[in-house]
Amino acid sequence: MTRKMIKSAPITRRRVLATVGAGAIVAASPFRINLLQAEETPIKIGFPVPLTGPYGTEAQDQVRAAQLAIAQFNDAGGLSGRKAELVVRDDKLNPGEAATRTLELVEKEKVNFVVGSLSAAVQLAINNVTKERGIIFNSISQSDAINEAADFSKYTFHEALNPHMTSGAVGRYAFSKFGKKVAFLTADYAYGHEMVRGFLEVGKAFNIENLGDIRHPLGTSDFSTLLPRIQALKPDILCISNFGRDQQIVLRQATDFGIKKTTQIIAPLLSHASRVAAGPQAFEGVIGGCSFYWGIEDKYASTKAFNEAFRKMYDGKLPTDYGALGYGGVRTVLSAVKDAGSVDTDKVIAAMEALKYDYYKGPQYYRKCDHQSVQSVLVIKSKSSNMRNESDVFEVLSTDEPNEATLRTCAELGHKA
């Protein structure tokens, strides 16, 4: 009985979400009459994301923005009238759950493509399933391993940044400005480890001194017992490689301990949703990286268009970093479908490889050898004053323009030339 209660909660939420989402699309679409005429089955995109758990807020942003990409595709007539549909599943931030849900999406829902996930380990689990079944998977979460030959397959695409790119951009910015003595506080899983590796790699060029890497389990709610040791190390820079709620809590508690007075805190990835949830006090002065910020709309027409469309669909709300990835991940796949004129896997792969796109953040393309989206990385700082609106939480300090030189080479990743 208790087990039933546990299980029914997410199903209900999921159903509500799906109904609301589908309703919004039908209502928004001027082509809704076509739905009745179209006899063909829709193009289905499976979308496993962690709706429940510490990254739930980010995951909901991903769903919202992905629905926008679907709506735009359908409004533009679909694939000669054939519409697309998003099939959302909760992967609960758990690789096992994600693998099961993905299998279900492929076998039962018969999805044509899979886009999604929000954790390094989870996306690798999904990737294992999709590559075995020959289904294209466009990952919208950070991972280094997914680009490496061992995990990569021709079906694997990576729309998100990877830790090497992110930590590289933030490291290059911070190590030249705030000092050489660096301490690390790291979430003890693939994402954290890969970020630290990236920082140490870029740190070589700046001769940084690694004072130590303190690892904490994912889902830690109190960091007070880890912070005295970090204080004792007296670092110039404290690099915090965790995400979501862990990041919110650790920044808050580090502020309480007075660490910011002597140390510059940097994080490879600052999440918009986390910053909003934790408030300006905790994030004050923290510098980090991100793949997207709505504020770059002054620079890119595509960002402005994306923001406007998102605002229109969601009552004036602005998209977030992970939301944008949901949009980009789905939109690239659907664009490739259109270019290929088919949902045939090999044709779509070829079309994706050929894409030169600018959908939401300036120019991007998928590198041939590892299908990593070559794109810009933003270095941002949390704002605590002069905010224009509730989404105005970051200031863009610098931008690493798209450049294959900031990626690990194909040979380093184990791909044959």
Partner 1 sequence: MAGLSFDLVALQLFAGLALGAIYVLFAIGLSLIFGMLTVVNFAHGAFYMVGAYAGLYVLMLGGNFWLCLFAVPLVVGLFGLLVERFLIRPLYGRGIDYPLLLTFGLSYVMVELVRIAFGKTGYPFDTPEILQGAVNIGVGYFPLYRLFVIGATAAVLLALWLFLEKTSFGLIVRAGARDPQIVRVLGVDVARVWLIVFGIGTAIAGFAGLLAAPLQGVIPEMGATILAEAFVVTVVGGMGSIGGAVLAGLLVGVVVSMTSLIAPEMAKVSIFALMAVVLIVRPQGFFGRAGLLS
Which residues in this chain contact partner 1 in the complex, by CB under 8 A? 1-2, 5-6, 9, 56-57, 60, 188, 211-212, 214-217, 219-222, 224-229, 231-233, 245, 248-249, 252-253, 256-258, 273, 276-282
Cβ closer to partner 1: 1 or 27?
1
Nearest distance from residue 156's CB to partner 1, in Å?
30
Cβ closer to partner 1: 61 or 370?
61
Cβ–Cβ under 8 Å, residues 96 and 69: no
Residues 280 and 166: their CA atoms lie apart, in Å, by: 23
Nearest distance from residue 282's CB to partner 1, in Å?
7
Nearest distance from residue 347's CB to partner 1, in Å?
39
Cβ closer to partner 1: 259 or 352?
259
Q: Is the dihedral of CA 327, 328, 330, 331 positive or negative?
A: positive
Nearest distance from residue 402's CB to partner 1, in Å?
32
Half-sphere exposure of 170 (CA within 13 A, CB side): 32
Cβ closer to partner 1: 271 or 372?
271
Residues 85 and 46: their CA atoms lie apart, in Å, by: 9
Cβ closer to partner 1: 34 or 210?
210
**CA–centroid distance for 108 within its chain:** 26
Cβ closer to partner 1: 54 or 78?
54
Cβ–Cβ under 8 Å, residues 99 and 123: no
Nearest distance from residue 412's CB to partner 1, in Å?
28
Nearest distance from residue 283's CB to partner 1, in Å?
9
Cβ closer to partner 1: 12 or 386?
12
Candidates 20, 38, 36; CA nearest to 28 is 20
Nearest distance from residue 185's CB to partner 1, in Å?
9
Nearest distance from residue 298's CB to partner 1, in Å?
27
Cβ closer to partner 1: 17 or 374?
17
Nearest distance from residue 217's CB to partner 1, in Å?
5
Nearest distance from residue 71's CB to partner 1, in Å?
23
Cβ closer to partner 1: 184 or 365?
184
Residues 339 and 359: their CA atoms lie apart, in Å, by: 15
Cβ closer to partner 1: 179 or 280?
280
Please state the three-class secondary structure of the chain as a single string. CHHHHHHHHHHHHHHHHHHHHHHHHHHHCCCHHHHHHCCCCCEEEEEEECCCCCCHHHHHHHHHHHHHHHHHHHHCCCECCECEEEEEEECCCCHHHHHHHHHHHHHCCCCCEEEECCCHHHHHHHHHHHHHHCCEEEECCCCCHHHCCCCCCCCEEECCCCHHHHHHHHHHHHHCCCCCEEEEEEECCHHHHHHHHHHHHHHHCCCCEEEEEEEECCCCCCCCCCHHHHHHHCCCEEEEECCHHHHHHHHHHHHHCCHHHCCEEEECCCCHHHHHHHHHHHHCCCEEEECCCHHHHHCCHHHHHHHHHHHHHCCCCCCCHHHHHHHHHHHHHHHHHHHHCCCCHHHHHHHHHHCEECCCCCCEEECCCCCEEECCEEEEEECCCCCCCCCCCEEEEEEECCCHHHCCCCCCCCCCC
Nearest distance from residue 229's CB to partner 1, in Å?
6
Cβ closer to partner 1: 62 or 302?
62
